[in-house]
Structure 1
């Protein structure tokens, strides 16, 4: 089985979550007796159990551990799989004990759940506390060689071995179940078993609770553990340590490769946005095109490509300019008249004091540098949520915003306001075709509404003149995400005020060019989504092959 594992290492490691699957497979094979060969000269586990019973009796007589109640016999139906002939299935309580509890009476080393490095299976951040500062959960005595297992949210696998001798006595939280193996059996064998898919499945079958699932000490100690001969336990630990170190190296190499790949992709994409002229842009695109199949092989690289396409769109580099287009300055005059009339009639508020412009890009000749507040009246949402919802004007939150489209997701009116509620609560209706953006937390989210809506306080909205393609403004906001983050003010949650939202800069293209840009972006985004879909299909096939290999290995 080890040869099967080694021969197919590239397939397993390259699968989605491949190294995680490898680690789980190693542990599964280890506790099934399939990772190292059995030695007929080893003392069988049945004899080891006799010596454990003698050790247990001695510790009880010396008052070091409490006498246990008789353990329930293990029925054949309880055993999850067959083990080698010289192994035994036993309950966890049969092969280890705890050290009891105490209230700290002097300075001590406190081990809480947060002190566990669950990737390495060791204690990484213990605290030194004085007795008077001891939390009520600081009760469980531990010693070097003790295994601790978090019974709260056990899916996090906060399992560790106490490996060092602390100057101040170590005391663990009552959130841990404590097991100290008898006869100095290797604690790491128990660590590996408690982290294995076998024990994880058992815990999932008995844990209680949904938000914070947990098991109790009784359930923990009643669990089963396959017990190999003592010599084989040491061989298993040595082999698992060796293979986990190999996984660590693979993970580091993979991380380095992914980082290098991401940097290369970004550098080549930046060469497009930073091109000095049309010739430079063409050469940069040619370099990218020559290596397209090598560069865009991950979801993150395709997302980076999509973001760059949007950036090129708002810079005027995605479609050619048409000298017959009416310049944007003429469009701006019409917008100014329209906007001034709406503000004068008090339909919308005046534009806030805008921040100073900066020269981000050099735009094509017929474009006009503006700020979004100059061309769009904005609607600031009310701060308080309405107290009732009995109408059909949709109440929109950021969860309705799409990831890869420009329009709001299909709105099923779970919460909606009536005209009476809109008036009563002073809510502003966002007219259809407006551009809405996140003004709290996740900056760069933007969407267009196809029907009139009302929104919560996380959304700032811009009313769009009929001569402007609202999709183009969405592109602008998405590209400005990093800039918006730098403008945000924060107390507990970062937010953008009216002035910051309205100060977003853009190059306003002629009307016809806006529509050409939107059509080209839609076409290219669709191609990117197709590329991502093929990538996901290939990933699923790869994962299916890896899973089939794992099933074959443990069969």
Structure 2
């Protein structure tokens, strides 16, 4: 099977997933830059001729004093070459194929007072550059008027810009479709010998180029100097083949875009189906409608809930059904209406002084779970519900005890009107994190106390509801596990196919 036939295979369903398409893009770029997607034609101008033209153009620019003579870059060693390429290609350092330079910075106050909302040549900063094939934002409100243009470096249409510093270094890059001025954290390359700018852009997007770029990052912020950037290797084919590669990549990337759009459309329809089904279940006007909807969900659980986010939403739906008495047959005459504060008491947790914090003992709980120290004595001997009061405000944890709820928590002890497990699920259904306020989010128990609730007076009925809910939540756990396994297998299959073809 030829490489192109293998590539066609990879467009089949094994790759058509949210994980597969990004990997497929990487594979396509890798294959293209190894010369495996295009033919090497005898009629192509030899790459040695291209090198001679590059050198001739460089010398002419130096003679004309348009560029400075640069220090020779190190010879390429065999150890540096990441993979083999066709004999008609050559490995070369990027600094040897053109004039590499960065742009100019503008003081914020000068930019706002002098270069904002005026006519002129667009000024492009890092924030205006997308990721590879994303368009550059030219309508950012900043431009350089003709009267000041001589003070700034400009580049013409079809110039590749790449971010050199910060979290987006090496990742943000783009091809200009007009003349621009640009910021000092962007590199531009004026290619010699007619090298294709679009070919260079695609090279920047390859995994091997990204790896070489990352290896040259320095500093706390993370940046690459022009000197270090110029030493990166690129695989250079003849000019004619560069054009064929660009044409092939344009076609394949457009196809990947269509695949992603198709997946997004399917996902949107799928979400609408789930939403409609759950809406009917929660708002059914008759018992028969509820039964019919539930039976539909039971038959199609695995096809409906194919993502972890969908399963999480299912949990929320099941919880609402449970606390409204719709999950099992109940006697609604035995249900009571109340305020939270009428039956549930939120007790304040207590802090453990630093001198009393131990390496072993009773677990101490904060708003987001167990803390990295222990207490000598328990504040709660048996089971309780711990509620985040500050920080992860509203987060709930059911503890079987003994425990020490800290001073950033509330806790609820068992009480006669309601089983603690039912109480936990009831509080969970209230979505307490949404009640958090302040810079350091916190919840006020008096506000929670005012919430309306309804619950079965019978502890036996509460137990039946919890048992049914637990069964369904366990089923949700199984669904999530299957999704994770499927995702892992899909990722491994993708990586395996990538390794095989590349």
Task: Work out whether the TM-score is over 0.5.
Answer: yes
Query: Which of 182, 186, 190 does residue 180 from structure 1 map onto?
Result: 190
- SS of the equivalent of 1:173 reads coil
Q: Quote how far apart the aligned CAs of 1:282 are.
A: 1.1
Separation in structure 2 between the aligned mates of residue 101 and residue 31 of structure 1, nearest angstrom: 28
**1:201 alignment partner in structure 2:** 211
Match of residue 14 from structure 1: 16
Q: Indicate yes or no: 2:386 matched with 1:372.
A: no
Question: What secondary structure sits across from 1:222 in the alignment?
Answer: coil
Return the alpha-carbon distance in structure 2 between the equivalents of residues 396 and 126 of structure 1: 51
Question: Where does residue 359 of structure 1 map in the other structure?
Answer: none
Q: Following the alignment from structure 2 to structure 1, what is the Cα–Cα distance between the partners of residues 127 and 12?
A: 34
Q: Is 1:508–2:455 an aligned residue pair? A: yes
Matches within 5 A, 1:277-316: 277-316=286-325
1:394-543 superposed matches below 5 A: 394-400=363-369, 411=370, 414-417=372-375, 429=379, 432-438=382-388, 445-449=395-399, 450-455=401-406, 457=408, 459-465=409-415, 468-481=418-431, 485=434, 487-490=435-438, 492=439, 495-509=442-456, 510-543=458-491
Q: Which runs of 5+ in 1 are unaligned?
A: 132-137, 324-363, 401-410, 423-428
C-alpha contact 1:19 1:247 (8 A) present in aligned 2: yes
Q: When the two structures are superposed, what TM-score results if normalisation uses the length of structure 1?
A: 0.78
* Residues 444, 477 of structure 1: 8 Å contact kept: no
Distance 1:188 1:83 in 2: 20
Deviation at 1:232, TM superposition (A): 1.1
The question of 1:148 aligning with 2:169 is answered no
Q: Does the aligned pair in 2 maintain the 1:469–1:515 contact within 8 Å?
A: yes
Tell me the CA shift for residue 70 of structure 1.
Answer: 0.8
> What is the CA-CA distance between 1:87 and the residue it aligns to?
0.6
Report how far residue 238 of structure 1 moved. Answer: 1.5
Superposition deviation, residue 222 in structure 1: 0.6
Whole-Å Cα distance in 2 between the matches of residues 66 and 441 of structure 1? 58
CA shift, 1:415, in A, is: 2.9
CA contact (8 A) 1:16 1:539 kept: no
CA distance in 1, matches of 2:374, 2:61: 69
Aligned-pair distance for 1:236?
1.0
Displacement after TM superposition at 1:488 (Å): 4.8
Compared with structure 1, are the counterparts of its residues 222 and 479 closer, same or farther at alpha carbon in structure 2 (3 Å cutoff)?
A: same
Distance (whole Å) between structure 1 residues aligned to residue 422 and residue 124 of structure 2: 55
- Supply the distance in 2 between the matched residues of 1:497 and 1:41 (Cα, whole angstroms): 78
| Residue of 59, 67, 77 corresponding to 1:57 | 59
Distance in 2, matches of 1:103 and 1:280, equals 65
Q: Cα gap change, 1:19/1:387 in structure 2, threshold over 3 Å: closer, same or farther?
A: same
- Structure 2 residue aligned with 1:256: 265
What are the Cα deviations for residues 142-176 of structure 1, in whole angstroms up to 9, with x where unaligned? Answer: 4433322223335771112222224xxx12133x3
Could you tell me how far apart the structure 1 residues matched to 2:261 and 2:441 are?
Answer: 34
- Residue 78 (structure 1) aligned with residue 80 (structure 2): yes
Cα displacement (A) at 1:389? 6.2
Provide closer, same or farther for how the CA distance between residues 265 and 98 of structure 1 changes in structure 2, counting only shifts above 3 A: same
1:269 to 256, 275, 278: 278
SS in 1 for 2:202: helix
Query: SS where residue 333 of structure 2 aligns?
Result: coil
1:164 aligns with one of 178, 184, 209: 178
Asked if 1:189 is matched to 2:199, the reply is yes
After superposition, the C-alpha distances for 1:238-275 in whole angstroms (9 at most, x for unaligned) are 11111111111111111111111011012112211112
Whether contact under 8 Å (2:104, 2:183) holds in the other structure is no
Deviation for aligned residue 1:497:
2.4
SS at match of 2:12: helix
Cα offset, 1:128, TM superposition: 4.2
Q: Residue 543 and residue 130 in structure 1: after superposition, are their counterparts in 2 closer, same or farther (change >3 A)? A: closer
1:430–1:461 Cα contact (<8 Å) kept:
no
Cα gap change, 1:503 to 1:65, in 2 (>3 Å): farther
Query: Over residues 380-404 of structure 1, what are the superposed CA-to-partner deviations in whole Å (9 max), with x where a residue is unaligned?
Result: 568x99666623454433442xxxx
Aligned pair 1:319/2:333, yes or no? no
Q: Is the 8 A contact 2:368 2:395 kept in 1?
A: no
Q: 1:41 aligned to 2:43?
A: yes
Q: In structure 2, what is the Cα distance between the partners aligned to 1:398 and 1:181? A: 57
Tell me if structure 2 keeps the 8 A contact 1:393–1:416: yes
Contact 1:380/1:498, CA 8 A, preserved across alignment: no
Q: Which of 238, 253, 262 is residue 244 of structure 1 equivalent to?
A: 253
Give the number of aligned pairs: 479
Name the CA distance, whole Å, in 2 between partners of 1:386 and 1:118. 50
Partner SS state of residue 14, structure 1: coil
Please state how far the C-alpha of 1:119 moved relative to its aligned partner: 5.4
Cα distance, 1:38–1:57 mapped onto 2, change above 3 Å: same
Q: Distance in 1 between matches of 2:449 and 2:153?
A: 58
C-alpha contact 2:104 2:184 (8 A) present in aligned 1: no
| CA separation of 1:102 and 1:446: change in aligned 2, threshold 3 A | closer
Q: Secondary structure at the match of 1:415?
A: strand
Query: Quick one: structure 1 residues 232 and 125, their matched pair in 2 at CA, closer, same or farther if it must change by over 3 Å?
Result: same
Alpha carbon RMSD of aligned pairs, Å? Answer: 3.1
TM-score, normalised relative to structure 2: 0.85
Show CA shifts across 1:162-194 (max 9, x none).
22224xxx12133x3332222342212111111
Change (3 A) 1:302 1:101: closer
